[in-house]
């Protein structure tokens, strides 16, 4: 007989629509406790009040101290938090030459610094759960964190940065707190409001007008015609976090792709990277000092590290 999944407390950002809203509705249907957050929550999250979720106003670009206080508020309400879902984000579209420094900064503030700062808020609590720590930190990433798209440099750069930071975090946690599991969800284009809400730069440089016009057409064409089912994505991410369904008995990797479009893009890029590595292997090795090729020494294991004085 299958043991029913343990009831959990979830802290979720960006709940006004899309993945965030789906997490709230599906988790409350399962009986889990949920802290649903978003900007201007009183109005933008009003449609979630009947779910029984706790609604908190939260801007992920707020200072660290404010994020810490909000996360602590959730702990004070429920006694704990088991899963943090970093979902809030947006797409800024425009060619590199046209994007301003401020627009790039705003993209990073929401898509990169927000999730990382909230991770800092959560880690002390998760580290305090037993000798190995316990908790799940989910990052709703994108194929854009692995594959650059024209006119999407602000979004792709922020998602690439997030992937690098979280990969490093995963190795830090494996080193000293292996009970805390980070999870990067690399989703393709799914049935959310994201394609409707793309921020397009105004036409600033005539040279790039054809590209910007094409991106507007593409975004509009994708909206309502997305290949990926957001309801299914969220259902399966919940299973991964709970270790049931698709996650039962599995060693879940750091990155999990969702959507045939994402899978195709990832496979094509990996194949191209492998081709380049094979073609340029000799050049790469030609700069090594004689007798000094190969990987650098590894860090000691977590057990060894704790014995280092």
> Catalytic residue numbers?
155
Rounded distance between C-alpha atoms, residue 199 and residue 17, angstroms: 17
Rounded distance between C-alpha atoms, residue 195 and residue 200, angstroms: 11
Among residues 158, 49, 153, the alpha carbon closest in space to that of 111 is found at: 158
Rounded distance between C-alpha atoms, residue 137 and residue 10, angstroms: 10
**143: its two tokens:** 């194929």
β-strand pairing of 255-258 with 54-57: unpaired
Q: Cβ–Cβ contacts within 10 Å for residue 4, how many?
A: 10
CB 89 within 8 A of CB 14: yes
DSSP state of 298: P
3-class secondary-structure state, position 187: strand
DSSP 78-129: HS---EEEE-----EEB-TTTS-HHHHHHHHIIIIIHHHHHHHHHHHHHHTS
3-class secondary-structure state, position 255: strand
Rounded distance between C-alpha atoms, residue 150 and residue 214, angstroms: 10
């Amino acid at each position: 007989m299958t043991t029913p999944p343990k009831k959990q407390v979830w802290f979720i950002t960006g709940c006004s629509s899309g993945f965030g809203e789906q997490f709230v509705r599906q988790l409350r249907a399962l009986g889990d406790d949920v802290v649903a957050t978003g900007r201007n929550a009183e109005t933008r999250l009003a449609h979630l009040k009947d779910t029984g979720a706790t609604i908190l106003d939260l801007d992920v670009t707020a200072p660290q101290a404010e994020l810490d206080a909000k996360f602590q508020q959730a702990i004070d309400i429920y006694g704990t938090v088991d899963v943090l879902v970093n979902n809030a984000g947006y797409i800024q579209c425009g060619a590199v030459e046209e994007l301003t420094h401020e627009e790039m900064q705003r993209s990073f503030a929401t898509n990169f610094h927000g999730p990382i700062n909230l991770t800092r808020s959560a880690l002390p609590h998760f580290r305090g759960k037993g000798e190995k720590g316990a908790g799940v930190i989910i990052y709703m990433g994108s194929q854009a964190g692995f594959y650059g798209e024209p006119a999407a440099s602000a979004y792709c750069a922020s998602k690439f940065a997030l992937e690098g930071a979280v990969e490093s975090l995963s190795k830090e946690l494996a080193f000293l707190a292996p009970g805390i599991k980070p999870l990067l969800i690399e989703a393709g284009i799914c049935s959310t409001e994201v394609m409707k809400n793309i921020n397009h730069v105004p036409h600033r440089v005539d040279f790039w007008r054809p590209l910007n016009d094409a991106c507007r057409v593409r975004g509009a064409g994708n909206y309502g015609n997305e290949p990926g089912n957001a309801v299914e994505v969220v259902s399966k991410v919940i299973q991964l976090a709970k270790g049931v369904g698709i996650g039962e008995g599995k060693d879940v990797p750091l990155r999990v792709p969702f959507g045939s479009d994402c899978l195709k893009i990832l496979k094509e890029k990996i194949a191209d990277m492998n081709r380049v590595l094979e073609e340029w292997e000799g050049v790469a090795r030609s700069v090594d000092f004689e007798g000094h090729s190969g990987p650098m020494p590894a860090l000691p294991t977590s057990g060894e590290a704790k014995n280092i004085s």
